[in-house]
C-alpha cells in the first residue's frame, strides 16, 4: 500500500468515527472545563464547585476544571462581561438579579438555553419576573431585599430595631448605619429602585440624601456590610440579601434581618454567555444546577433554593445541614411559602435606568458626602436656633421662611452650597433688627 493510500484510509476511518460519535460527548471531551463570572459569595461558589466536580466525575468519569471570577458586585461583574464584547473568558454569568440579566439580554451578551427542570421554577411571583420567557436567564436562588441589625449592639445602645425606611432617618440612628454604593452592589441598587418605585423619584432622592447623612461609613460590598454588622462595628446594615442573616447566625453572630415595609424579590439568576468557549459544559452545568442535587448545593452554599417542589423539612431529615437554618430564617418550609407585601415593581424601567441611577448617586451623593453632611448639619443647627428664639417669643417669621428655602435646596434640589448660604442667611435674620 502506498503512503498516500494509507494516509487517506486512516483519515477516512477517523472521519467515520467522528460521524458516529455523540455530539454532546464530542463537545465535552474537547474541553472538560468551565468558567463562571458573577457576584455570588465565595461560600456558594465553593459549594457549587464541590458539587459539580463530583457530579461530572461520576457522570463522565473524568475531572472538570472550574474557574470563577468575581471582580465585585453586580454592576462590576456586568461591566466585566460588557468589556468582553461577546468574546468572554467565561461561559456562565452566575448570580445577580433580574435587572443585570435584562441588561445583558438587551445588549445581546447572553444566549437562550432552557435547563432540565426549568418548569420547577415559577415564571413570576407577586408581579416579579423570576425567569426569562425567552429562556435567556433563570432564577436559581430567590431572596428578598432586607436590612440587618446586630441585636446585641442595639440592645447595648438601648436602641429599638428600625422597622421602616423612615425609621432609619431618626436621629437616634445617626452614625450607626452602613451600606455600600449602588454601582458596587446590585442589592443597594435594588434598594434605590424600591424607594423610587415605592415612594416616587423625588421623594426617593430626598430620602437618600437624608440617609447618607446618617451613615457611619460606606462599605465595600454586601459581604463587607454583613461582616461589619456581625462584628458589631456598625449595628445596622442597609440593603442586604435576605440569606446574609441566615449565614451570619450559622456562624454564631447575633444578626437578624428585618424586612422593611416596602421591598422586592430578587431572583438570583444564571445565564449562558454569548461566545462561551465551553458552551457544551455550560449547558451540562445548568442542567445540574436545577436538579435536586444541584439545588441542595445551592442551599449548602447559604442561598435559598429556587425549585417550588423543595421542602426544607424533608432536606433536614436527609441531613442537608443548612435546611434547618433556612427554616428558622424564613419561618416557612419553602421560600415560596413566604407571605410578604411587595411593591409593584417595573423591571423594564429599572433596567432602562440602571446606569443613570448609579451615576446620579455617585456624583450627587457619594462624591459630595462631606459637603452633604456639613450642609444638613448646619441647617439642623439653625433650625434649633430658630426654635429657641421662637420659645423666647422672638419674631422668627423671616428666618423660618429662609430655613425652609434651605431645606428645599438641600432635600429636593441637591444644591448643597446654596442650602448652606440660605441657612447662614436664616441665622443672620435672627439677630437683625
3-state secondary structure of 277: coil
DSSP strand E in 166-259: where? 177-179, 215-218, 236-241, 255-258
**Going by C-beta distance under 8 Å and a sequence separation of 6 or more, which residues neighbour residue 39?**
70, 72, 73, 74, 76, 77, 95, 96, 186
Phi, psi of 431, rounded to the nearest 5 degrees: -110, -5
pLDDT at 402: 97
pLDDT at 393: 93
**Going by C-beta distance under 8 Å and a sequence separation of 6 or more, which residues neighbour residue 243?**
141, 143, 302, 303, 304, 329
pLDDT at 12: 39
Q: Name the residue among 207, 277, 385, 230 with its Cα closest to residue 31.
A: 277
Q: Residue 33, class by beta-carbon neighbours within 10 Å (0-12 exposed, 13-18 middle, 19+ buried)? A: middle
pTM of the model: 0.82
CB 181 within 8 A of CB 188: yes
Beta bridge partners, 66, equal 34
Q: Can you tell me the distance from the alpha carbon of 209 to that of 377, in angstroms, rounded to the nearest whole number?
A: 12
- Extract the C-alpha cell encoding 190: 435594588
Which run of H or of E encompasses 327? helix 322-330
Q: Can you tell me the distance from the alpha carbon of 353 to that of 16, in angstroms, rounded to the nearest whole number?
A: 54
Q: Can you tell me the distance from the alpha carbon of 355 to that of 5, in angstroms, rounded to the nearest whole number?
A: 63
pLDDT at 105: 96
CB 36 within 8 A of CB 68: yes
pLDDT at 160: 96
Q: Can you tell me the distance from the alpha carbon of 338 to that of 257, in angstroms, rounded to the nearest whole number?
A: 14
Q: Name the residue among 69, 106, 128, 132 with its Cα closest to residue 271.
A: 132
Could you read off the pLDDT tens digit of each residue along the chain, which spans 433 residues?
444 443 344 333 333 343 333 334 434 445 799 999 999 999 999 999 999 999 999 999 999 999 999 988 888 999 999 999 999 999 999 999 999 999 999 999 999 999 999 999 999 998 889 999 999 999 999 999 999 999 999 999 999 999 999 999 999 999 999 999 999 898 999 999 999 999 999 999 999 999 999 999 999 988 899 999 999 999 999 999 888 988 888 889 999 988 888 999 999 999 999 999 999 999 999 999 999 999 999 999 999 999 999 999 999 999 998 998 888 888 889 999 988 888 889 999 999 999 999 999 999 999 999 999 999 999 999 999 999 999 999 999 999 999 999 999 999 999 999 999 999 999 999 975 5
Q: Can you tell me the distance from the alpha carbon of 37 to that of 91, in angstroms, rounded to the nearest whole number?
A: 8
pLDDT at 246: 85
Phi, psi of 147, rounded to the nearest 5 degrees: -120, 155
Phi, psi of 411, rounded to the nearest 5 degrees: -75, -45
Amino acid at each position: 500500500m502506498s503512503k498516500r493510500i494509507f494516509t487517506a484510509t486512516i483519515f477516512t476511518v477517523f472521519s467515520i468515527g467522528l460521524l458516529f460519535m455523540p455530539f454532546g460527548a464530542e463537545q465535552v471531551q474537547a474541553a472538560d472545563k468551565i468558567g463562571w463570572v458573577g457576584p455570588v459569595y465565595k461560600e456558594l461558589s465553593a459549594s457549587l464547585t464541590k458539587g459539580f466536580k463530583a457530579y461530572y466525575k461520576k457522570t463522565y468519569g473524568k475531572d472538570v476544571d472550574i474557574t470563577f471570577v468575581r471582580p465585585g458586585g453586580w454592576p462590576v461583574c456586568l461591566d466585566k462581561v460588557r468589556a468582553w464584547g461577546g468574546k468572554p473568558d467565561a461561559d456562565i454569568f452566575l448570580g445577580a438579579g433580574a435587572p443585570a440579566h435584562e441588561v445583558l439580554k438587551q445588549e445581546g451578551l447572553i444566549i437562550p438555553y432552557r435547563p432540565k427542570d426549568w418548569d420547577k421554577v415559577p415564571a413570576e411571583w407577586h408581579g416579579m419576573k423570576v425567569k426569562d420567557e425567552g429562556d435567556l436567564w433563570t432564577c436559581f436562588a430567590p431572596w428578598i431585599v432586607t436590612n440587618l441589625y446586630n441585636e446585641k449592639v442595639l440592645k447595648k445602645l438601648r436602641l429599638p430595631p428600625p422597622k421602616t425606611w423612615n425609621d432609619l432617618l431618626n436621629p437616634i440612628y445617626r452614625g450607626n448605619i452602613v451600606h455600600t454604593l449602588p454601582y458596587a452592589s446590585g442589592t443597594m441598587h435594588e434598594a434605590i429602585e424600591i424607594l423610587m418605585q415605592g415612594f416616587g423619584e423625588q421623594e426617593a432622592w430626598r430620602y437618600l440624601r437624608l440617609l447618607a447623612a446618617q451613615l457611619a461609613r460606606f462599605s465595600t460590598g454586601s459581604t463587607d456590610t454583613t461582616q461589619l454588622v456581625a462584628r458589631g462595628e456598625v449595628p445596622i446594615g442597609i440593603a442586604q440579601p435576605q440569606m446574609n442573616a441566615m449565614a451570619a447566625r450559622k456562624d454564631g453572630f447575633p444578626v437578624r434581618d428585618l424586612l422593611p415595609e416596602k421591598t422586592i424579590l430578587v431572583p438570583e439568576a444564571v445565564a449562558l454567555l454569548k461566545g462561551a468557549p465551553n458552551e457544551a459544559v455550560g449547558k451540562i452545568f445548568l442542567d445540574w444546577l436545577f436538579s435536586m442535587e444541584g439545588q441542595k448545593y445551592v442551599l449548602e452554599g447559604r442561598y435559598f433554593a429556587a425549585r417550588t417542589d423543595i421542602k426544607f423539612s424533608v432536606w433536614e431529615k436527609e441531613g442537608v445541614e443548612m435546611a434547618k437554618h433556612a427554616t428558622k430564617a424564613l419561618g416557612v418550609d419553602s421560600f415560596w411559602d413566604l407571605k410578604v407585601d411587595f411593591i409593584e415593581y417595573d423591571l423594564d424601567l429599572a433596567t432602562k435606568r440602571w446606569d443613570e441611577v448609579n451615576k446620579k448617586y455617585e456624583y450627587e451623593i457619594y462624591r459630595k458626602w462631606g459637603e452633604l453632611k456639613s450642609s444638613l448639619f448646619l441647617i439642623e443647627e439653625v433650625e434649633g436656633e430658630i426654635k429657641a428664639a421662637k420659645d423666647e417669643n422672638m419674631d422668627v417669621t423671616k428666618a423660618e421662611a429662609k430655613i425652609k428655602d434651605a431645606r428645599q435646596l438641600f432635600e429636593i434640589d441637591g444644591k448643597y452650597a446654596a442650602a448652606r448660604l440660605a441657612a447662614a442667611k436664616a441665622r443672620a435674620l435672627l439677630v437683625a433688627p
